[in-house]
Structure 1
Amino acid sequence: MPVLDYALLLDPPAFPAERYAILADRLAALMGTGNDVLLMQAEAVLALEAAATSLARPGLRALNIVTSPYGAWFGGWLARGGATVRNLTASPAKPVTLEEVERALDEGPGFDLLALVHAESASGILNPLPAIAALARQRGIVTLVDAVASIGGHAFEVDRLGIDIAVIGPQKALAGPAGVSAISVSEKAWELLSHGDAPANSMLSLLDQKKLWLDAGRGVLPGTPAPLEFYALEAALDRIEAEGLASANERHERAAAATRNGIRALGIPTWVEEAHASALVSTAILPDTVEAKAFLVAASQKQGADLSAGVGPGAERLIRLNHTGRRAHPEAVKANIAAFSSALKSLGHAADTDSALEATEKAYSDAPANGV
């Protein structure tokens, strides 16, 4: 393999100022929204912290749904700003249930904000966003959704769902750069964000972004933009638009089905049922006789595979098989299953690789022939 000359990435031309607004509009179309879209010059975790910091103030009452460390962080950021936060923590590494959310809303106090993660790559679960968003809408509660592991892999339409603040990043299903993210903000959310304790002169201030970019005509971004990130985002959007968002969602769904067929053919249980599983990552429960660290070391010997440990409480015995973005492809899926099987066998656990790969291929052969 030739050695790449990374010096070619130095001294890039500035990203044209008039194309920032076009990027925001293209992202809005992918998100299915007519709301304002802000471009954040950082990875999506900073965008989430900016949203929490901009919202937080004494008197704000928030129901924060925790299904991974990211949800816990968000609750901490809100509390740091003086908000009254009720953390609704689901069973470890499991999705929250609609009944749990409804009960928490009924118990109150009357919430101003409901925050949750849609799809969790940490444990491969999917929270019941449409039903939760409908509950919040009925009660007039502003909703904030971490959709970083949703866009491009799951149906996610901001306006149809009635989501007030949505945070996305292009680095997962869109297979784009990690150093830029976006936030959509509804009129109702701007009202909640406009308060006397809001941060100012800060990268964490959404009101600053509104004043310095939206209200200034959506030209060049404030600060010193990193042009490579925006050229890469533009290229990722070109690719996803050429494929079609619906096709990209279907490609991830097929990769998920094929992966789980292969896992089950190895005699390994998956973590959650299909209706509550992410389309970007599949999680399998490692047999008790297999040590997780040794398993991952063995799996890493197989070229083309991407297996990793689950993240957060309850995920200690979970193995994640990544089929996100460009990895939502038959060859990457088969590489993951082959590596999983090989690692099991190397540690003395019976595994039929051929049967697992056949089960994986069957998911693709049984799928409609309208894409990969």
Structure 2
Amino acid sequence: MGSHRRPAQSGLDRSARGSTVSLLSAVSAVAATAAGLAAAPAGAAPQDRPSGTRAEVDRLFEQAEQATEAFNKADERAHKLRDELADLQGSVARGQERINTMRGALGSLAGAQYRSGGIDPALALLLSSDPDGYLDKASVLNRITTRQAGELTELQRAQRDLSQERAVATLKLVDLERSRKAVARHKRTVEDKLAKARLLLNSLPASQREAYERASRGGLRDGIPDLSGAGVPSSGRAAAAVAAAMSAVGKPYVWGANGPSGFDCSGLMQWSYAQAGVGLPRTSQAQRYAGRQVPLSEARPGDLVAYRSDASHIGMYVGNGQVIHAPYPGAPVRYDPVGMMPVSSVTRV
């Protein structure tokens, strides 16, 4: 998609630069707001207190996760379209080669027909010094003519098929470009939300940042069943996925990444199950439907736990009321209580 040359800038490059300027402006504005929030007096309105800042950080992280899922979905679609387009282009090339071969064969047949049928057949027979030989040649010519007609029909069919494949390939190319732009758009949205969240979080005093960290790992929610037992994985592949997720603990959160050196939430689930030989979809919304849904009270190690009503976050249950997940930028892959956020579903792969 890139080039080492520097001719006129593409629309996407200009858009990205414009987005960077907008992002810097937004960052400056947030920095000013954050400074005011950090220095808010004791009697300030509730929305101007550090608790309001923490709530805003939560909201921005949630929006960033939603945008990350949209990014992953668009990126996955772009990869799929690239593969489909490559297959189509290969098929078009093979079809063109076949047509060229058929045209060559038809040319040879036409030449043979011309050489064998230069005069009226009845006159040729009358003048022939070898009537039996002539009749044999005429029989061959007739077979060539019949074959030529069949070859011509097949050539016309192949040309129609090739034309249709080229039209489909053209549409795929347009669709791919649209998906590339969607990927870039969602990437800018994620970067914007994360930059704002980091600035706000960094504006808090160290004690308040630690309080935010503790709150983000809380599990005291209504409706969370007692899951204090270690539990047994539902299958060998679930056990292998749990082992893989455990091996990733401590790796950094990297949005849009699916390992092995960094992960976002759904990327960690996809990578962990890939180590067990199981292919999962890329997004958390799709992963929640990648198996059979079970009640939280029946969760077993290896089950996928989706959070929030839109399933914009996901983790893996590993027993003792704990999940392993990739939380957010700055927080590495770690263990947290299963009830850290509102649970929307539990899926057994």
* Structure with the higher fraction of residues in helix conformation: 2
**Structure number with bigger Rg:** 2
- Asked if these proteins are the same fold (TM beyond 0.5), I'd say no
Could you state the TM-score of these two structures normalised by the residue count of structure 2?
0.22
